[in-house]
Structure formats: C-alpha cells, structure tokens
Amino acid sequence: MNIEITRLDNLQWRVAHMDTGIYLDFKEGCFNDRQETHCPAGLTDATAIARAMREIGDWCAQNVYSLCFCDREMAKRIVSYFCLADWAVLTSIQHVHPDTLVVELLELLEDEGICASLGIEDGGEALFRIVSDMKKKELTELCRMLVARRKQPYTTFIEWAGHLKSWAEDL
C-alpha cells in the first residue's frame, strides 16, 4: 500500500493513494465530515476505487489518527483557552500524553528562560492554571492537537497557532 499525506494550508491535508491516483482532501479532525475525494478521469473500476478508499481510511486510522479525528466542540473550547504564547509553550512539551501533560508543563515552566523567550509575562502561571483545571477529556483533546502538529509539523508554531484559531471557528 503506497499512501502519502501532505499538509496543504489552514490545517487542510491531502491523502493520496499513489497506486491509483485517488486522493482526498480533509480538514484536520474532520476526516469523516469534510472530505473531498478526487479520482482520475480514466479510473472507472468501481472495485479498485472502493479498495483504494478503504486502504486510505485504514492507513489514516493506523498512522495519522490524531490528524483525522477530533471532538469538535471540545476542540473549539480548548483553542479559545490559550493565547499564541501559550501554544508556543505547549508545543515545546516533549511527552504529549494526557496523564503526564500537567507534570511535563510544570517542568518546562520551571525553566524560566522559556517563558521570557516566548513573551509570557506571568512566568507561565496562567497557562499552568488553565491546563491544571482541565478535565481528562479536555487534556486528551489538547494532546490530540499537539500530537497532530508533531506528525506533520508546520514550519513554526506561529503558523500553526494562527491557523488553529480559524480552524476552530470553522469547525
């Protein structure tokens, strides 16, 4: 199975089945809801098309799940919690897992230099308070967003965080 994924723009992704030329575009987290499928004009074998689409779906679920699926309402709320500098800190966390996210964040914020270099005036206390108050489901969705960024990283966190706000508004 020869499948490739490519980042487009504004948290849009393209998954291509290289053997058939079929590809689909989807908005991050909205694989089942907002995908546009493109099939080469010469490909008319319904069985081959169905097989390729199944292979694309299986591959995405196994390899890039965090890019494809999200809790939309929760994602909207979470994006509104944080400012750009907060996202910069969160994307610096090494081990993105809901069970350890608060501890990882605290360890990162104890390095005073990171807050100063990212323009966080309160030493990250507000960010730590927000993350500490999150419920397990919210932490899981936050981790999904951070893992999705790592799977196919943007050039900078600023580019990603800028797109993240319009993405959440559009969900």
Give residue-wise pLDDT tens across range 42-75.
Answer: 998 999 999 999 999 999 999 999 899 999 999 9
Supply 97's token pair: 């897992």
Give the span between the Cα atoms of 171 and 169, in whole angstroms.
Answer: 6
DSSP string, 3-27: EEEEE-STTEEEEEETTTTEEEEEE
Q: List, for the chain, all residue ranges whose pLDDT scores fall below the cut of 50.
A: none
Quick one: CA dihedral 104, 106, 111, 115, positive or negative? positive
At residue 100, φ and ψ (nearest 5 deg) are -120, 0
Q: Starting at the edge strand that comes first in sequence, how are the strands of the sheet with 12-17 ordered?
A: 3-7, 12-17, 22-27, 35-38
Q: What is the pTM of this model?
A: 0.81
pLDDT at residue number 34: 79
pLDDT at residue number 150: 82
pLDDT at residue number 94: 87
pLDDT at residue number 83: 86
pLDDT at residue number 170: 84
Quick one: CA dihedral 9, 101, 108, 116, positive or negative? positive
